Amino acid sequence: MNSSTAWLTLQSQEGGIQLTTTQAEDADRLTRELVHLLDEWALACAVQTLVLPLNDDRVALICNLRPDFRAQCMPGHDTLALQEKLGHTPQTDEAWALEREIWVALLGSPHRFQFASLASLTSHIRVRRNMALDARKTALAFKTDAAERPQAFWQDGGDDAGFILQPGRCLVDALIAATQPDATGKLYDFSCYRATEYVILLGIAQELQTGNPELLAQLQRLNEVHAVRSGQFHDVYLIEYGSMEAPLPARFYVPGDRLWFRNPDERSSDVTGYEGSWVLYMGGGLFSNFWKRDTPYTLESKAIEIFHWKDGVYADAQGDLHMDETVVEALVAQTQANPEARSQVLERMLRMRDPKGVYAEGGCIDTTREYPRSVSRDHCELVLPRL
């Protein structure tokens, strides 16, 4: 690491990681601590730093990948092959490899991730790791008009409250029971959006067990009376990055990102649950498939599936639209087996999506991603609603 040689390069780049501190001498100490930490991930020689004055007498420590390392591992901000390019194999410790992949994706990001402290950054990485590992273990039954939870842990509090914790039951155990059949032997009914909420909340709660138990106790009490869901869940727990005006690169994903693939077909998007697909990026080029855990999606396989939703939609005798998944599966298999057809479908689908309400030439790729707010004890951004 050499701040002076990286000065001009770093000034011209917007992404990577920014740590905000108060005084220059603190930044020097923080740089040494960061170098020591990155050495544990064999990344100290892959990054460059810059101490940048801010407008309010503070300074910021900016850290990102060296250009040669980024060009080698994530050219064009493509993170989908990071696992292989970092040399991780099935024999590499899963959690270690995943945290290292998160570090590299954040450091090489076109978006600048800002953290108040090194503790906040490392907490954030652990939450992302938890989410990705939990997503790999999650298997559910897809139901758009039904919901079910293990009764030993959850009770239906009604439309206003949602599913709430049984008194005295551990939130972490309850979330695992609802989402991981290895714990219960049963698949529970979820929509894809609600499923991502449970996995995100589980990743946060697991970090809080050791990192901020006081906040976990508050989260426990909240879930005993009210389930934060849908738009409120997004507002309370998540930060969205990227925009329609400044879209993220189509192949840039950080393990632990929540994202949406849009259905660009107007007719089939009217089928409940098929407006698009909410998933979590699990690292290694794979996206969550909560309905078939052993066959996670690649970017390409997800795009091909969504493309064929237009072929699986049908109207019943009352004129209501439904989806025939057997038709979709058969056509997906045909397309995957035909290189020319596969190329044509991907050319159509791997485009940025159209704006809301527009069904024209856009594909299924969204311009934004979402990640959890900081829950670090020394700088917590998570403010729970008061009920």
Same domain, 240 and 356: yes
Same domain, yes or no, for 64 and 203?
no
pTM score > 0.85 for this model?
Answer: yes
CA angle 353, 373, 249 (to 5 degrees): 30
Task: With respect to residue 143, please indicate whether it lies within any of the assigned structural domains.
Answer: yes
Residue 8 pLDDT greater than 80, yes or no: no
Do 302 and 236 have their domain in common? yes
pLDDT in tens, 88-102: 988 889 999 999 999
Q: Are residues 193 and 260 in the same domain?
A: yes
Tell me the mean pLDDT in the region 113-125. 95
The neighbour count for residue 381, using CB atoms within 10 Å, is 14
- Specify if 381 maps to a domain: no
Point out the domain boundary residue: 57, 92, 108. Answer: 108
Contacts of 117 (CB under 8 A, 6+ apart): 19, 21, 376, 378, 379
Angle in degrees, 0-180, between the axes of helices 299-307 and 339-349, rounded to the nearest 10 = 90
Considering the domain architecture, whether residues 226 and 337 belong to the same structural domain is answered as yes
The band of 13, judged by pLDDT with boundaries at 50, 70 and 90, is: low
pLDDT at residue 2 is higher than 90: no
Domain presence at residue 256 = yes
Q: Are residues 266 and 363 located together in one domain of the fold?
A: yes
* Domain identity same for 145 and 91: no
pLDDT tens-digit map of 58-82: 889 999 999 999 999 999 999 999 9
**Domain total in the chain:** 2
pLDDT at 9 over 60: no
Residues 338 and 222 both lie in one domain:
yes
Other beta carbons less than 10 A from residue 24's beta carbon: 11
Answer yes or no: are the C-beta atoms of 223 and 165 closer than 8 Å.
yes
Give the Cα separation of 209 and 376 in Å (integer).
11
- Within this chain, do residues 183 and 264 fall inside the same structural domain, yes or no? yes
Q: Specify whether 185 is located in the same domain as 321.
A: yes
State the residue range of the domain holding 206.
Answer: 137-372
CA terminus-to-terminus distance, the chain: 49
DSSP code string of 1-53? --HHHHHHHHHT---EEEEEESSHHHHHHHHHHHHHHHHTTT-GGGEEEEEEE
